[in-house]
Amino acid sequence: MINITTLKGEIYSYDPDTLRVFKDGVLLSSSKVEPVFTSSSTFGAPVFSGIYVKDRGTVISLGGSENKAITDINLVD
């Protein structure tokens, strides 16, 4: 189990065996959250990097900070 404590004190947990996400010990629906993965190389396996919170449109990083997941293309220079 991988635990993430947010800056607000919430505890999210990700179970890599079942791909389930919990908040404060309660299982969350995949319609609410999903795990986020990145890859450090073309041949490497995806690496768990955080939790996407769908209704807020944010990703909670492993360090507990919450960041906007989607950037409006019109705001990029």
* CA distance linking residue 20 with residue 46, whole number of Å: 16
SS3 35: strand
**Given a cut of 80, is residue 71 above it in pLDDT?**
no
11-47 tens-digit pLDDT: 999 999 999 999 999 999 999 999 998 876 667 788 8
Q: What is the pTM of this model?
A: 0.81
Distance, CA of 17 to chain centre: 16
Average pLDDT, the chain: 88
Amino acid letter, 51: I
